[in-house]
Amino acid sequence: MTMWNIFRNALFLMLCAVILIACHSPQTLVNKDFESTQLNARNPEDSIVVKMINPYKQVLDNSMQEIVGKIPQTLLKEAPEGTLNNFIADALLSNYFSVNNYDSAISAQCCVLNLGGIRLNELPAGDLTVGKCFELLPFENKLVVIPITGSQIQALLDLVASNKGWPIAGIRMQIQNAKAINVLINGKPLVFDQNYRLLTNDYMANGGDNCSMLSTAPQTILNLTMRDAFIQYCRNKFKLNQPLTAVKDGRIK
């Protein structure tokens, strides 16, 4: 059972308990001056809710506290390029490559993500927990691979440039007059009539954040959210005792 299913089940049980409690005989309001009370086990109704939710809450709490990596230096979300931007894009592309055994026939050459999907401005140095990953990437966006032409990549990177930089991997570019110039894909100049494969999220692939150039392309939707892929990558690094690090390498100037 995934953490999301556990959380959803806990909410469902809480709702059922509240409905059952609401079915008790109504009470008359005798004083409009009242104080809010917290859920606790001193009242019979509250005790029912606590007993129903506690097993799920304990599992969820333990899952969220799991350490999946060590960050030696704080990673920052910045534009046009940030260590956190680079780390996430590299992690997702690397995780996708590892799942597909680096098969160039099916693997994506590059990754572009929208900056708004990253909900924390930094990952502080220290232990990285599953809970922090949920804060960082809270949306249930699936990873998607789409075939894309060089001209479509140019249009997408022009959008990235107009937004002063988004997370990218496998790409190097410069921004001039809100346009992407000197674009390299895996170290080679972008060719407009060449076919590429792009890793992104389903929100962007469906045209979100003004990515209309992607919305008509056929999609291979992976049964994996951005967050789950990110956690997988971090866990693998942690098992190998490798720190989670990233640098600004000039991929966007």
Q: Per-residue confidence at 17, pLDDT binned at 50, 70, 90?
A: very low
Domain check: are 48 and 90 in the same one?
A: no
Mean pLDDT (whole number) for 130-136: 96
pLDDT score recorded for residue 63 = 81
Domain check: are 86 and 144 in the same one?
A: yes
Does residue 9 lie in a domain region? yes
Domain check: are 95 and 202 in the same one?
A: yes
Q: Per-residue confidence at 215, pLDDT binned at 50, 70, 90?
A: very high
Residue 147 near residue 81, CB atoms below 8 Å: no
Domain check: are 50 and 106 in the same one?
A: no
Mean pLDDT (whole number) for 144-168: 97
pLDDT score recorded for residue 50 = 60
pLDDT score recorded for residue 1 = 47
Please determine, for residue 172, whether its predicted confidence score (pLDDT) is greater than 60: yes
pLDDT score recorded for residue 30 = 40
φ/ψ of 157, rounded to 5, equals: -70, -25
Cα(130)–Cα(38) distance, rounded to whole angstroms?
27
Q: Give the domain-ending residue among 56, 77, 100.
A: 56
More confident residue, 74 or 55: 74
Cα(82)–Cα(248) distance, rounded to whole angstroms?
6
pLDDT score recorded for residue 150 = 97
Domain check: are 11 and 110 in the same one?
A: no
Domain check: are 3 and 73 in the same one?
A: no
pLDDT score recorded for residue 49 = 58
Does residue 29 lie in a domain region? no
Q: Work out the angle at residue 177's Cα, subtended by the Cα atoms of residues 198 and 149, and round it to the nearest 5 degrees.
A: 25
Domain check: are 75 and 182 in the same one?
A: yes
pLDDT score recorded for residue 237 = 96
pLDDT score recorded for residue 27 = 43
Does residue 251 lie in a domain region? no
Contacts of 3 (CB under 8 A, 6+ apart): 60, 63, 64, 130, 134
Mapping DSSP to helix (H, G, I), strand (E, B) and coil, where does residue 163 land? coil
Domain check: are 113 and 4 in the same one?
A: no
Domain check: are 14 and 85 in the same one?
A: no
Does residue 131 lie in a domain region? yes
Does residue 31 lie in a domain region? no
pLDDT score recorded for residue 107 = 79
Does residue 248 lie in a domain region? no
CA distances from 148 to 17, 103, 151, 218 (A): 50, 18, 8, 9
Domain check: are 86 and 204 in the same one?
A: yes
Cα(181)–Cα(1) distance, rounded to whole angstroms?
46
End-to-end, the C-alpha distance of the chain in Å comes to 43
Domain check: are 77 and 47 in the same one?
A: no
pLDDT score recorded for residue 35 = 44
Domain check: are 50 and 121 in the same one?
A: no
Mean pLDDT (whole number) for 131-160: 96
Q: Name the residue among 55, 37, 120 with its Cα closest to residue 82.
A: 120
Does residue 26 lie in a domain region? no
Please determine, for residue 197, whether its predicted confidence score (pLDDT) is greater than 50: yes
Structure tokens at 180: 């992407």
- pLDDT above 70: percentage of residues in the chain: 72
Domain count, the chain: 2
Mean pLDDT of the chain: 83
Torsion of CA 230, 231, 236, 237, to 10 degrees: 70
- Domain range spanning residue 4? 1-21+43-56
Which CATH number goes with the domain that contains 133?
Answer: 3.90.780.10
Does residue 216 lie in a domain region? yes
Please determine, for residue 19, whether its predicted confidence score (pLDDT) is greater than 50: no
Q: Give the domain-ending residue among 35, 56, 77.
A: 56
